[in-house]
Amino acid sequence: MVVGSLLLRTVQLGQRIFHWDEGRVGYWILRFDATGEFFYRPIIHGPFLPVVNNALFDLIGASDFAARLPVALVGGLLPLVALLLRHRLRDREVVALALVLSVDPLLVYYGRFMRGDVLVGSFAVAAFALVVYAIDTRRTLPLFGSAALLALGFSAKENALVYVACFLGAGFLLLDHRLVRTARRTGSPLDALVAEAVALGQFLEGWTAGSRTRRWIERRVRQRDPDAHWGWEAGFLGHLAVWVPLGAVGVAATFLGVVAFFYAPRPDLWQALGVASASAGAAGADAAPTLGTVLYDATWGAGEKFWGTWASGNHSGHPYVPYLWDILETLAYGSGVLVVLALVGFLADGYGEARGTRSLVAYATYWGAASLVGYPVATDIQAPWAAIHIVLPLAIPAAVGLASVADSMRGAFASDDAVTAALAGLVVLAAVGGVAAPNADYWNSASAEDKQVLQWAQPENAYKEALQDAVAVARDNDEGADVLFVGTDTGRGTRLYVSDESSVDRMPPGGPSWHSRLPTPWYLELHDANVTSTPPEARYDGLPPADEMPPVVIAKPNDAEELESRLDGYESRDYAFRLWTERIVVFIDEAALADARE
């Protein structure tokens, strides 16, 4: 299943044209590679992709495929977390969980997308699963792996903080339910609290049983006083007194170490470590920064930037209901089978033969429900990728639901119950169709027909063909600018014009409208195209003379007719630039293109 999951996410990975957001992050990764300079900017989210892809580009070269590869690999390996939950799930449920995480259409589509949502979700789910595994096996070492994975989640995207809030909230609900059940059985809330305290003590006793520290303390007590009856207590409490603080410090250090590595500005980190000279990176550097300064910027400084951009609420002042409806629509079209199976699994687990929802299933359901309620507030734009964070926790009850359906079918066949077997078969057939058809449709889709799952700032795939011709012409052009953006004013402000093109060499870009070109700058920077632009007031008479006109001109449709009459010998092509809001026109010198193709 993992092999199949990886293939689903890597085959033809570079075929779809970059989305606006992919183009923005990708461009700054290219500039990071060129200048060696990078620092955390909350508006483009965490530094995981820039840091990892910068190294990856050096190994295999920069391309759409390479840029998306880390997300595809992490998402493709996610089904392995099912093995960590095998002590809480039945064997068929473990297999079902791996299957659900492998083929869910929403996870597959955004697992082929250079964005941090699948990364942070996968890392957070894996961190949670490692904690569960540590509890089930009474081992401490997995907690360090969990801390590292959670730190990777924070480095991928800041909404890892929402995962932590969901973990705590679901845990509180689970504890509350346990207390209520015990109180109803005993008739006393105090008895319920005492019972939970006893259960915690028994768990810790099992965790420390057989440890060398505990045995050493117990042995020392017996050596001092052979008649002592408190050796067990001394060993138990002594072990906790030694290893709980040390373990907590170790886990915290692991988390902070991973976070600091990714959030540390470059080349400051390498300069502080003595790997690079003070002159590397930013111009004018006259002294290497200290390690203390770098660590401050990577932790507290990054936290202040995050708070000022995202946590302050400046990006969440929008109506709730439209955002909730948008997520529900995405879930219905992208992960409808998983949501239905999750409901079946929760009900089957709570009201089936066992009569009592298992803590893992209840926890994951509460986690998914809280995410559904919370993400319409937490997200700053209406984006289908937010639904990923609801799908991931619901995959656990969905696996239980899928296994329950399989069990019903198996039991029906064994007892010759044709009606039940037929109904279960129909459910399975519908589930297969409900997963296979969307995956086939969304595979590399850039069509407005799939807008329930695609985000609106996706250009159509045909635009990539024009960009390939444009960069081919640019490589063959030896004089002057290769690409001219014709700036214009629209109802949404200035488009395509940048007053100082050199301002886009380092973050943040100059204005007023570099972002309106995305994802085009990624492809032009990838091939070292020389770019210029004209201001809106000069878009006709202020154009360069015919003999100095760049071989590629990019403009908005409202200027296309006027430009076409002035660009003799140029072929014009019109494309959807944002699937249902904007279009773009590309003019390419036909003679230059013919020469480039020779």
Segments in 317-417 forming alpha helices (H):
320-351, 359-378, 388-414
- Spatial separation of the C-alpha atoms in residues 554 and 225, rounded to whole Å: 89
354 has a pLDDT exceeding 70: no
Q: What number of CA atoms fall less than 13 Å from residue 552's CA on the CB side? A: 26
Q: Which whole-number Å values give the CA distances from 116 to 49, 112, 306, in the listed order?
A: 8, 11, 15
| The residue type at 271 | Q
Kind plus residue range of the DSSP H or E element containing 590: helix 590-597
Q: In what order do the strands lie in the sheet with 483-486?
A: 531-534, 483-486, 552-555, 582-589, 570-578
- Spatial separation of the C-alpha atoms in residues 403 and 116, rounded to whole Å: 31
Of the given ranges (268-277, 289-298, 312-321, 423-432), which has the lowest mean pLDDT?
Answer: 312-321
pTM assigned to the model: 0.92
Please name every residue paired with 553 in a beta bridge, in sequence order, or none if there are none.
Answer: 484, 587
- Spatial separation of the C-alpha atoms in residues 65 and 83, rounded to whole Å: 29
Across the chain, mean pLDDT equals: 89
**CB 345, CB 402: distance < 8 Å:** yes
More confident residue, 257 or 198: 257
Percent with pLDDT over 70 in the chain: 95
pLDDT digits (tens, 9 = 90+) for 60-103: 999 999 999 999 999 999 999 999 999 999 999 999 999 999 99
pLDDT digits (tens, 9 = 90+) for 99-137: 999 999 999 999 999 999 999 999 999 999 999 999 999
Beta-carbon contacts of residue 223 (< 8 Å; ≥ 6 apart): none
Q: How far is C-alpha 238 from the geometric centre of its chain's CA atoms?
A: 42
pLDDT level of residue 581 (50, 70, 90 thresholds)? confident
pLDDT digits (tens, 9 = 90+) for 138-159: 899 999 999 999 999 999 998 8
Segments in 157-230 forming alpha helices (H):
160-186, 189-208, 212-224
More confident residue, 383 or 211: 383
Radius of gyration over every alpha carbon of the chain, rounded to an integer in angstroms: 29
SS3 label, residue 335: helix
Which whole number is the average pLDDT over 7-35?
95
Q: Identify which of 563, 549, 547, 552 has the alpha carbon closest to the alpha carbon of residue 488.
A: 563
Of the given ranges (159-163, 229-233, 439-443, 540-544), which has the lowest mean pLDDT?
Answer: 229-233
Quote the pLDDT of residue 415.
Answer: 75
Q: Which whole-number Å values give the CA distances from 583 to 517, 531, 566, in the listed order?
A: 11, 20, 20
Quote the pLDDT of residue 173.
Answer: 86
Quote the pLDDT of residue 217.
Answer: 81
Residues 266, 271, 274, 280, Cα dihedral to 10°: 100
Q: Identify which of 94, 92, 100 has the alpha carbon closest to the alpha carbon of residue 406.
A: 92
- Spatial separation of the C-alpha atoms in residues 536 and 553, rounded to whole Å: 14
Structure tokens at 204: 């810790």
Quote the pLDDT of residue 315.
Answer: 58
- Spatial separation of the C-alpha atoms in residues 450 and 439, rounded to whole Å: 11
Which whole number is the average pLDDT over 272-278?
76
Beta-carbon contacts of residue 333 (< 8 Å; ≥ 6 apart): 438, 450, 452, 453
Please name every residue paired with 575 in a beta bridge, in sequence order, or none if there are none.
Answer: 584
Residue with tokens 């007053």: 499
**CB 531, CB 481: distance < 8 Å:** yes
- Spatial separation of the C-alpha atoms in residues 201 and 131, rounded to whole Å: 18
280 has a pLDDT exceeding 70: no
Which whole number is the average pLDDT over 239-259?
91
Quote the pLDDT of residue 10.
Answer: 97
The C-alpha angle 186, 189, 191, rounded to 5 degrees, equals 55
Quote the pLDDT of residue 109.
Answer: 97
Structure tokens at 580: 């249902």
- 160-186 helix and 189-208 helix, angle to the nearest 10 degrees: 120
Percent with pLDDT over 90 in the chain: 59
283 has a pLDDT exceeding 60: no
Beta-carbon contacts of residue 319 (< 8 Å; ≥ 6 apart): none
- Spatial separation of the C-alpha atoms in residues 397 and 389, rounded to whole Å: 15
**CB 550, CB 482: distance < 8 Å:** yes
Q: How far is C-alpha 412 from the geometric centre of its chain's CA atoms?
A: 41
Kind plus residue range of the DSSP H or E element containing 531: strand 531-534
pLDDT level of residue 570 (50, 70, 90 thresholds)? very high
Which whole number is the average pLDDT over 274-302?
75
pLDDT level of residue 406 (50, 70, 90 thresholds)? confident
Which whole number is the average pLDDT over 397-405?
93
| The residue type at 99 | L
Secondary structure (DSSP) of 76-136: HHGGGHHHHTTTTS-HHHHHHHHHHHHH-HHHHHHTTSSSHHHHHHHHHHHHHHHHHHHHH
**CB 274, CB 170: distance < 8 Å:** no
28 has a pLDDT exceeding 60: yes
Residue with tokens 């948008």: 326
| The residue type at 496 | L
pLDDT level of residue 278 (50, 70, 90 thresholds)? low
- Spatial separation of the C-alpha atoms in residues 433 and 144, rounded to whole Å: 41
- Spatial separation of the C-alpha atoms in residues 358 and 85, rounded to whole Å: 13
| Domain ranges across the chain | 1-180+314-450, 268-313, 461-596
Quote the pLDDT of residue 25.
Answer: 95
351 has a pLDDT exceeding 90: no
Residues 295, 297, 302, 305, Cα dihedral to 10°: 170
pLDDT digits (tens, 9 = 90+) for 172-196: 888 887 787 777 777 778 877 888 7
